[in-house]
Amino acid sequence: MRFMRTTKMMPAFLLAVAGAMLNARPVTGQELFEWPDTAVDISTYKTVEECSAAVGRVRSQIKVREYHATHIDRDTIPDDLGSAKSPLPSAVVETVRACLNAASAHVDTVGVDAWDLLAPLYLIIGMDDSARAVVERRLAEVELDNTEDLKRAVTDVLLLYGKNSPVPPKIEVGDEIILAFLDKIPDFRNRFAVYMQLIVTGSDDPAMYDEMAARARRHLARFMAEYDEAAGRELEDMSNESGRVGATSEELLAQLEAMFTLVFGKDQFHDSLRVSTAAYAKAMRKTWGRASDVPPEAYMDGQPLGERAPVLEGDIWLGCEGDPCEQYPRAGRVSLVWFYTPHLREIYDNIRITNCSDYTYLLRRLSNRFPELDIVVVAQTVGRYHYVKEGMTPEREAQLIRKCLDSVGLDRAVLTMTESPGWRLPEPDGRWVDQPTANWTNYSFDGRWSGKFRNTDNALLIDQDGYIVHVGRGTIGGGGGLERNFAELIEILLEREKAKT
């Protein structure tokens, strides 16, 4: 009775609202929080740039779905050297076809400056003739007397049909286009430059190494045949044509042969390494000098091949076998010294990859394959670890990196951390400005080597006597080539040590 009396006393409008709420159809959570339609309407696209971007998004979405299905980060496993010859997913092909139709993009209507976007799209949908027409339009714009323009154009075309191809590579098509174009170049110096590009372009792709070596031999033979045919006509005096004072046709031919040896002659260099690191460094530097027409001491912009590795310094050492830590690199041990760069990994589609670096998985595989190998990770403080900044000290930063190394199987690696000298910018910026550490300075070899040890990963292979055998520069994005090179050289060094005993 109390409830009824209270109800009669309620204002009429409240009763009306209450009745409406009781009689209303229940609203589901799906209706309240339904995600807006974000599907891209390709029919509205008007340019080849938009179509290229659409393809990139589709390929990214496929990778995300693959990750959700497998929970495997592709960076953690060795490169599939056969994947370059696998067909594209049908979703990518259909996206290109629909988008090009909607945009009315055509080889004759798209500006030549967009050739590098349109030609790959044609290759994806199997319109090879149209792709070739786009490429030939690009080559028609080249200044035949401009050596650098020629080299850039030739490289672009060869990469399009080689390692950068969006479909299984068609190297022979790229070669056919360039060889036809070669006949239009009147100057022998510029034809020489094109042959040089034919030999070296794409040669660092481990999936096609043997194929690229075979084609390079064919191009070298073709150049030598052309050289023999032209001898006695236009090759009597190459001093003005070559761009090198006093250069002769024989010297140019020797330069081309040296480049071929440098790129594809690893077996003979490996034989030198089996003798000694000094013999290996001498052979590499001498061949580099002949191929690039620079002094041997300027090898790879001053890369310290064959030089003694400085002793590493550190304020904090973690993972050493003894206490105090031994001097690294250790005498009598093959060492791989990695200058660690912290990466703020990309966030996409709600997936955050949190491993400390792509390099760690390469190092783990090498560590598992070669238990005798010393791995030393060289780091310097940055005042954070990924997105963790609060309460960060050098000790905690080192411990977090150590934890990451252990989590990916690098528990045998030694970590050395140096507290970075520098200063912090005033607020609201607040960023830390680094100054070179002792390790950074020492491994720059008095500034002779342009290699940087911040903002790019560098790994140096050091032999049992403390001499640098190889430098792997840049991130692991290059894939299997970097891992393969390290593995081959490590194996030779270990075999060399066993032969001594």
Looking at residue 374, its amino acid is D
The C-alpha atoms of residue 168 and residue 162 are separated, in whole angstroms, by 8
pLDDT digit string, tens, across residues 259-270:
888 888 889 999
pLDDT digit string, tens, across residues 99-123:
888 777 666 677 778 889 999 999 9
Q: Is residue 76 within 8 Å of 407, Cβ to Cβ?
A: no
What pLDDT is attached to residue 79? 57
Distances from the Cα of 265 to the Cαs of 208, 213, 279, 474, in angstroms? 15, 9, 15, 23
| For residue 80, pLDDT beyond 70 | no
The C-alpha atoms of residue 240 and residue 247 are separated, in whole angstroms, by 8
What pLDDT is attached to residue 354? 44
More confident residue, 324 or 58: 58
What pLDDT is attached to residue 268? 92
pTM value is: 0.75
Strand bridging mode 335-339 / 374-380:
parallel
Confidence of residue 453 (pLDDT cuts 50, 70, 90): low
What pLDDT is attached to residue 22? 41
Three-state DSSP state, 457: coil
What pLDDT is attached to residue 249? 64
Q: Is residue 358 within 8 Å of 386, Cβ to Cβ?
A: no
CA count, 13 A, side-chain hemisphere, 118: 27
What pLDDT is attached to residue 82? 47
| For residue 196, pLDDT beyond 90 | no
The C-alpha atoms of residue 489 and residue 460 are separated, in whole angstroms, by 12
pLDDT digit string, tens, across residues 134-166:
999 999 999 988 889 999 999 999 999 988 889
Confidence of residue 178 (pLDDT cuts 50, 70, 90): very high
Average pLDDT over residues 213-229: 81
Average pLDDT over residues 412-441: 85
pLDDT digit string, tens, across residues 6-41:
444 444 443 343 444 444 444 444 455 565 555 567
Which CATH topology does 316-500 take?
Answer: Glutaredoxin (3.40.30)
Distances from the Cα of 416 to the Cαs of 71, 314, 328, 402, in angstroms? 32, 5, 10, 10
pLDDT digit string, tens, across residues 358-368:
678 888 999 99
What pLDDT is attached to residue 322? 74
What pLDDT is attached to residue 119? 93
pLDDT digit string, tens, across residues 318-335:
998 777 788 999 999 999
Run of H or E residues at 133 = helix 128-140
User: Per-residue DSSP letters for 391-442?
Assistant: T--HHHHHHHHHHHHHHTT-TT-EEEEEPPPEEEPPTTT--EEE---HHHHH
Domain residue ranges of the chain, discontinuous segments joined by +: 2-32, 316-500
Confidence of residue 224 (pLDDT cuts 50, 70, 90): confident
User: Per-residue DSSP letters for 5-70?
Assistant: HHHHHS-HHHHHHHHHHHHSPPPPHHHHSPPP-----GGG--SHHHHHHHHHHHHHHHHHHHHHHH
Confidence of residue 204 (pLDDT cuts 50, 70, 90): low
| For residue 450, pLDDT beyond 90 | no
- Closest by CA position to 306, among listed 494, 465, 458: 465
What pLDDT is attached to residue 304? 92
Give the largest CA-CA distance in the chain: 123
Pull the structure tokens for residue 37. 């339609």
Residues in a beta bridge with 434: 422
What DSSP character marks residue 71? -
| For residue 4, pLDDT beyond 80 | no
Confidence of residue 342 (pLDDT cuts 50, 70, 90): low
As to burial, measured by CB atoms within 10 angstroms (0-12 exposed, 13-18 middle, 19+ buried), residue 103 is buried
What pLDDT is attached to residue 240? 44
Q: Picking from 122-126, 168-172, 298-302, 378-382, which range would have the lowest pLDDT averaged per residue?
A: 298-302
Give whichever of 202-206, 252-256, 307-311, 376-380 has the largest mean pLDDT: 307-311
As to burial, measured by CB atoms within 10 angstroms (0-12 exposed, 13-18 middle, 19+ buried), residue 284 is buried
Summary mean pLDDT of the chain:
79
What pLDDT is attached to residue 372? 95
